Amino acid sequence: MSQETITSSERQIRQSEKPPKGSRVMSGMRTTARLHIGNYFGALKNWLELQHEYECYFGAMDWHAMTTAYKTPHEIQHFVRDIYAEFIAWGLDPAKTTIFVQSRVPEHLELNMFFSMITSMGWLERVPTWKDAEEEAKANDTHNLGRFSYPVLQAADIAVYSATHVPIGQDQISHLELSREIVRRFNFLYGAKLPEPKPIFTSTPTLLGSDGRKMSKSYGNTFNLTQEEDELTKTIRAMPTDPARVRRNDPGEPTKCPVYSYHKLFSKPEDLPWVETGCRTAGIGCGDCKKRLTENINNLMAEPRAKKKELLQSPDTLDSIIDDGCRRARKVAKKTLEQVRECTGFQVSGGDAF
C-alpha cells in the first residue's frame, strides 16, 4: 500500500501499544486450502502466544472462503475440519481459547447485515486491496458482491465478539481502519457501545514458495504446514537451488537459494554456518543440504503431525471439540446481538427464537 493512501486516522492506529489486561482478541483464517507455512509464521504463531495473555477468539472463516471459492462449498467444509485440527495440533488450546467456525455462529451474518446498511459504497471502493484485485476478480469469476463487501463481514466478525484487538500485519491496516469506521458509525447512529478494534501489529514475513517464487496456491508451490514425511522429502527434493551450482564441485551462494531461506526458518542456528560455508566452498552438496533441512523440518512437524492425525482419526472427539468451541463463541456473540437489538429495536431471530 502506498503512503498516500493512508488516512490520518489510519496513521493514528499505526502506533499500537501492548493491549491492556482484559483485552479481547479476535482473528481468523479463510478455509480455502490447507494451512501453509505463511499462515503459520504470519498468524498462527502469534496466536499461540496471544492465547496465554488474552481472551482470544480464533475462527475458521468459511463464509470468507466462500467469497472466492463459492463453487466448491464442500471443499471449504473439508478444510474447516482440517484447519481446525491443525490449529489444535500446533498448540491452540481449545480449553483456553475459543475456536469457532464462522458459519456456525449465525450472529456474524446478522451483524453483517446491519453493518452493510451503514457502510458507504465509497468506503469499500477505497479499500486498496479491492482496487488491486478488481481486474483479476473480473477475470476469474470472483467479481461478486460478497467479495466486494468482504471487509464489512470482517468488521462484523470482530464486533460480534466485542473484540478490542486484532493481530494484523501492516498490509491489513486498511481493512481494520474500515472496521473501526463502521463500528464508530454504528455506535453514533444507534447509541451502541461496541469497541473500536485496535491493531496488534505482528510481523508477517513474506515467505518464498518451494520453487523460490512468491508462494501462491495458483503456482502450486505452497509449502504445507503439516506434511507427511514422504511428502516433505519429495517437496524438498524438488526444490530448485542456486543455479550456479551445476556440478557438485561448483561453489554456490546460499542467499540465492530457496533451500537456504527455509533453513533460516526451520533449522537450528548452528546449522546455518554449516550451510553457508559448505555451500560457498562446495564442501557440502545440495543433497546433503536438503537432507539436513528435511530432517530438521521433520522433527518440528512430528508432534503436530501425530496430533492432527489423532484428531482426524477420531471424528467424534473432534466434533465435540468443534461443537464446544462454537457453542462458547455463540454465547458471546448472542450477548453482543442483544445489545444490537436493543439499540435498533430489531427483534431479529438469529434462527432460533421460535
CA distance 239 to 241: 6
180 binds, among ligand TRP, ligand SF4, none (CB under 5 to 8 A by kind): none
Instruction: Check the CA dihedral 73-75-78-82 and report its sign.
Output: negative
CA distance 144 to 258: 36
Contact status, residue 184 vs residue 151, Cβ threshold 8 Å: no
CA distance 48 to 28: 13
Residue in 3, 55, 47 with CA at minimum distance from that of residue 27? 47
Rg (CA), the chain: 22
286 binds, among ligand TRP, ligand SF4, none (CB under 5 to 8 A by kind): ligand SF4
**Looking at 82, 157, 242, 271, which residue binds ligand TRP (CB under 6 A)?**
157
Q: How far is the CB of 64 from ligand TRP (least distance, A)?
A: 5
Q: How far is the CB of 227 from ligand TRP (least distance, A)?
A: 21
Neighbouring C-beta atoms of residue 272, cutoff 10 Å? 14
Residue in 306, 307, 313, 299 with CA at minimum distance from that of residue 232? 299
Which class for 301: exposed (0-12), middle (13-18), buried (19 or more C-beta within 10 A)?
Answer: buried
60 binds, among ligand SF4, ligand TRP, none (CB under 5 to 8 A by kind): none
CA distance 231 to 46: 26
Contact status, residue 198 vs residue 13, Cβ threshold 8 Å: yes
Segment near ligand TRP (CB under 6 A); pick from 22-30, 77-85, 121-129, 255-263: 22-30
Q: How far is the CB of 268 from ligand SF4 (least distance, A)?
A: 15
Is residue 61 at the binding interface for ligand TRP, with CB under 6 A as the rule?
yes
Is residue 236 at the binding interface for ligand SF4, with CB under 6 A as the rule?
no
Segment near ligand SF4 (CB under 6 A); pick from 205-213, 249-257, 321-329, 342-350: 249-257
Q: Which amino acid is at 214?
A: K
Which class for 218: exposed (0-12), middle (13-18), buried (19 or more C-beta within 10 A)?
Answer: exposed
Task: Please name the residues in contact with 290: beta carbons below 8 A apart, sequence gap of 6 or more.
Answer: 236, 237, 239, 259
Residue in 184, 133, 192, 166 with CA at minimum distance from that of residue 9? 184
The grid coordinates listed for 49 are 502466544
61 binds, among ligand SF4, ligand TRP, none (CB under 5 to 8 A by kind): ligand TRP
Is residue 158 at the binding interface for ligand TRP, with CB under 6 A as the rule?
yes
Phi, psi of 27 (to 5 degrees): -160, 170
Instruction: Identify which of residues 27 and 294 has a Cβ nearer to ligand TRP in the complex.
Output: 27
Q: Where in the chain does DSSP place strands (E)? A: 24-30, 55-61, 98-101, 165-168, 198-201
Is residue 242 at the binding interface for ligand SF4, with CB under 6 A as the rule?
yes
Coil, strand or helix at 25: strand
Q: How far is the CB of 282 from ligand SF4 (least distance, A)?
A: 8
151 binds, among ligand SF4, ligand TRP, none (CB under 5 to 8 A by kind): none
Segment near ligand SF4 (CB under 6 A); pick from 141-149, 237-245, 307-315, 321-329: 237-245
Site string for ligand SF4, 278-297 (x = CB under 6 A): -x----x-x--xx-------
Q: How far is the CB of 241 from ligand TRP (least distance, A)?
A: 32
Instruction: Identify which of residues 61 and 105 has a Cβ nearer to ligand TRP in the complex.
Output: 61
107 binds, among ligand TRP, ligand SF4, none (CB under 5 to 8 A by kind): none
279 binds, among ligand SF4, ligand TRP, none (CB under 5 to 8 A by kind): ligand SF4
Q: How far is the CB of 39 from ligand SF4 (least distance, A)?
A: 25
State the residues that interact with ligand TRP by CB under 6 A.
26-30, 61, 64, 154, 157-158, 166
List contacts with ligand SF4 (CB under 6 A): 241-242, 245, 252, 254, 257, 259-260, 275, 279, 284, 286, 289-290
